[in-house]
């Protein structure tokens, strides 16, 4: 029996820049109800040349399998079937949307995972920097095995940041963006968390006190949770299942606001470059 086609336009995930953890988690929550319990009838691969080639036998491995769960590890989506797991990464320009399986595909729509409901999970990636890989043990896969703890999990806290920072001289912003330290704290949310914690992103990690790391970890958790609740930041056209778009971008204090006034003190925000990325901070509020 086909599932009623209830407003597919409401489940389009269009990414303006590289998706960060909240956007990936928002995607997971959006597609999960339509995938779990469904059996895959076939997999249509129109272009295998992503960041890593899509396995030649993906259709054989996934077709006929019932999807048991849709989980996330860092920025990877784990679509778990009965006999293995599809590891999906959206790269810089990738997106997933649920469509009628009969809907004609566009130029950059590389893969359809067709479900018994008559829907298809369609993967789009103009730059082809994403990935769709198969694994029988995803958490041991080379892409996931060395990742640090989840920022919203029990294993991450300020004490971990303090311990790992001792004796190091790198700047604090690239430090908290290191996936071996904590996963999923990308450029946007690192900038916002450091502002909220009052820490200059250029400051050497070994000079930040334990008390300030406790505050920073608290702000990382708060801001990521808030972004997830609001549907993320880099989703231009996302509308969630409740019909409400993501609005976290309207709450940004520093990211992308170089040269503008600080919302806290009114001074001009300064833009610098850290680790090949633009970074904005307030010279008064952050030290």
Summarize pLDDT for 178-193 with one digit per residue, the tens.
Answer: 999 999 999 999 999 9
Query: Among 106, 140, 174, where does a domain finish?
Result: 140
Q: Is the residue at 153 inside a domain?
A: no
148: in domain: no
- From the candidates 20, 25, 192, 219, give the one annotated as an active-site residue: 20
Find the domain containing 126 and state its range.
Answer: 8-140
Mark the binding-site residues, compressed into ranges: 108, 127, 168
- State the pLDDT at residue 249: 57
pLDDT value, residue 93: 83
CB atoms within 10 A of CB 171: 18
For this structure, is 160 an active site residue? Answer: no
The CATH number of residue 271's host domain is: 1.10.8.50
Of the candidates 29, 128, 202, 277, the residue annotated as catalytic is 277
d(CA 25, CA 263): 28
Over residues 3-31, the pLDDT tens digits come to 434 343 334 434 345 678 988 998 999 99
| Same-domain pairing of 35 and 70 | yes
Centre a 10 Å sphere on the Cβ of residue 199 and count the other Cβ atoms it contains: 24
Distances (CA, A) of 207 to 64, 120, 170, 173, 194: 55, 51, 10, 13, 15
Helical (H) or strand (E) element with 90: none
This prediction's pTM: 0.85
Q: Which two tokens stand for residue 50?
A: 């992503």
214, with CB counted inside 10 A (0-12, 13-18, 19+), is middle
Residue 146 lies in a domain: no
| Statement to judge: residues 178 and 131 lie in one domain | no
Dihedral sign (CA 74, 79, 81, 85): negative
List, as residue ranges, the binding site for DNA: 108, 127, 168
Kindly state whether residues 119 and 164 are assigned to the same domain. no
Q: What are the backbone angles phi and psi of residue 178, rounded to the nearest 5°?
A: -75, 120
Same domain, 16 and 136: yes
How far apart are alpha carbons 139 and 161 in whole angstroms?
A: 23
The active-site residue, picked from 73, 75, 122, 173, is 75
For 127-169, the pLDDT digits (tens) are: 999 999 999 999 999 999 999 999 999 999 999 999 999 999 9
Q: Rounded to an integer, what distance in angstroms lies between the CA atom of residue 16 and that of residue 93?
A: 7
Q: How confident is the model at residue 248 (pLDDT cuts 50, 70, 90)?
A: low
Active site residue 19: yes
**Catalytic one of 19, 138, 174, 201:** 19
- Residue 7's pLDDT is 41
Confidence label for 276 from pLDDT (cuts 50, 70 and 90):
confident
Q: What is the pLDDT of residue 255?
A: 93
Taking 50 as the threshold, does the pLDDT of residue 246 lie above it?
no
Write the CA distances from 104 to 1, 4, 14, 113, 121, integer angstroms: 22, 19, 18, 14, 13
Beta strand 67-73 pairing with 131-135: unpaired
Indicate if 75 belongs to the active site: yes
Q: How many domains does the chain have?
A: 2
According to DSSP H, which parts of 198-271 are helical? 210-229
Contact between 151 and 221 (Cβ < 8 Å)? yes
pLDDT greater than 50 at residue 120: yes
Same domain, 27 and 136: yes
pLDDT at 20: 84
Task: Mark 95-119 as b/e (b = at least 16 C-beta within 10 Å).
Answer: bbbbbebeeeeeebbbbbbbbebeb
**115 lies in some domain:** yes
Question: Where residue 105 sits, what CATH number does that domain have?
Answer: 3.20.190.10
Residue 258 has pLDDT above 80, yes or no: yes
Residue 250 burial (C-beta neighbours within 10 Å; 0-12, 13-18, 19+): exposed
Determine, yes or no, domain membership for 152: no
């Amino acid at each position: 029996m086909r599932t009623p086609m209830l407003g597919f336009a409401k489940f389009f995930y269009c990414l303006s820049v590289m998706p960060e953890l909240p956007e990936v988690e928002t995607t997971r929550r959006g597609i999960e109800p339509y995938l779990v319990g469904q059996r895959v009838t076939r997999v249509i691969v129109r272009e295998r040349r992503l960041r890593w080639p899509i396995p030649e036998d993906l259709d054989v491995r996934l077709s006929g399998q019932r999807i048991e769960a849709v989980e996330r590890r860092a920025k990877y989506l784990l679509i778990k079937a009965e006999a293995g797991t599809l590891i999906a990464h959206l790269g810089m320009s990738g997106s997933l949307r649920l469509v009628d399986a009969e809907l004609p595909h566009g130029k950059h729509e590389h893969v359809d995972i067709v479900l018994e409901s008559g829907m298809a999970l369609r993967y789009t990636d103009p730059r082809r920097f994403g990935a769709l890989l198969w694994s029988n043990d995803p958490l041991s896969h080379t892409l996931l095995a060395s990742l640090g703890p989840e920022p919203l999990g029990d294993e991450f806290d300020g004490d971990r940041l303090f311990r790992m920072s001792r004796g190091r001289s790198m700047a604090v912003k690239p430090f908290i963006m290191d996936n071996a330290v904590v996963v999923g704290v990308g450029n946007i949310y690192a900038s916002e968390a450091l502002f909220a914690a009052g820490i200059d992103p250029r400051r050497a990690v070994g000079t930040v006190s334990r008390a300030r790391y406790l505050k920073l970890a608290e702000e990382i958790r708060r801001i990521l949770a808030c972004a997830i609740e609001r549907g993320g930041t880099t989703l231009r056209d996302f509308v969630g299942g409740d019909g409400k778009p993501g609005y976290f971008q309207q709450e940004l204090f520093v990211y992308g606001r170089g040269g503008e006034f600080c919302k806290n003190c009114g001074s001009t925000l300064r833009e610098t470059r850290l680790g090949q990325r633009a970074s904005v901070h307030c010279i008064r509020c952050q030290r």
